[in-house]
Amino acid sequence: MDHRINLGAWRKVFAVPSCIVDEHHLKLASGTQIKVLLYLLAYPDVGIKDEIIASELGISKEDVSDALLYWVNAQVLSVSGSEYYPSDAPHSAAPDAAVHAAPSSPDPHTELSTPEARAALNSETHFPPKIIAGAVNGDKAVKYLFDTYERLAGRPPRHAEQQTLMILVEEIGLPCEVTMMLIEYCFNIDKATPAYMKSVARDWIESGIDDIRKAEERIRQLQNRNTAENRLHAKFGLSSAFSVKQKQMIAEWTDMGISDALIDEAYDITINNTGKLSFPYMDKILRKWSAEGITDPSRLEKRRTQDPAADNTPSFNTSEIEQRAYDKYKNL
């Protein structure tokens, strides 16, 4: 008698490496990354284009690339050209102690603005998934940071985002609570990309923003700058974005505490005197007023009342001012 098993609905099955479970990838990897791996495991030895995988899974081609990069960095897959195959790296049968070890906490007295910290923001540092899992599982603050990111994004952080968070808290030593405030600010202004978060972090470490109070003050300052930029962009009726030099001028005006109304006054004087929008001309007027303690129109009017002969509308050589401004901001 011949014996056989009729698998029926089980006839088409495929294996999933146990390291996916053993090394916490079910928790660490995003749903998209898991889907891409399962799809490829279901069709071994078949060349499948990114756009087909993306279409079948309802994701973008960039998500497919991000998922494959995750599994390569996790040493689950190796890659040669466009072919992926099981990694030769050994995988433990059970989670090792390193996964659960708490990461070393940064020295609270460590100076953040160091060449090493600045270099880390520009590096291509890659934290292996085991190290990321160890940080998340071993430090409640890091776990809360990752949970906060997931709450803000509405999904788990992608591989590049995980790397950025780890660079900020592990490589640079930015306190977790400060990093949380940084990423929340980035989400609030719809710029929560790894590149932008690193640019904000670069500004913060250069400025010594290493505690909640300083972070709150910097966020307030940044919000004031953003508000001023948006308001002035609408007032000036510009069709293009401000240049780096113009943004720097606006930031300095807001940081000096110059009111919106006084900026409007300087704008009107600039248009009347030059017949055009000239940031250098406005900057010269506002700096002169600021040096005289004038930060709003009421003080300007009081000054004019007290000294009618005082001319707060200086006669400047516009070309000379613009050249000076160019020299000052050309390297920004």
Q: Comparing C-alpha atoms, which of 211, 148, 202 is closest to residue 178?
A: 211
pTM to 2 decimal places? 0.60
- Alpha carbon distance 266, 297 (integer Å): 10
Task: Kindly list the domain boundaries of the chain, sorted by start residue.
Answer: 12-86, 98-210, 239-329
* HEC per residue, 32-64: HHHHHHHHHHHCCCCCCCHHHHHHHHCCCHHHH
Question: Domain 12-86 - what CATH class?
Answer: mainly alpha
pLDDT in tens, the chain (332 residues): 667 777 676 667 888 888 888 877 887 788 888 999 999 888 887 888 889 999 999 998 888 888 888 888 778 888 777 788 888 765 544 344 333 333 444 444 345 556 666 666 666 667 877 788 888 888 899 999 999 999 999 988 888 899 999 999 988 888 999 999 999 999 999 999 999 999 999 989 888 898 999 999 999 999 999 999 999 999 999 889 999 899 999 999 999 989 899 999 999 999 999 899 999 999 999 999 989 888 778 878 877 777 655 555 555 554 555 555 556 555 55
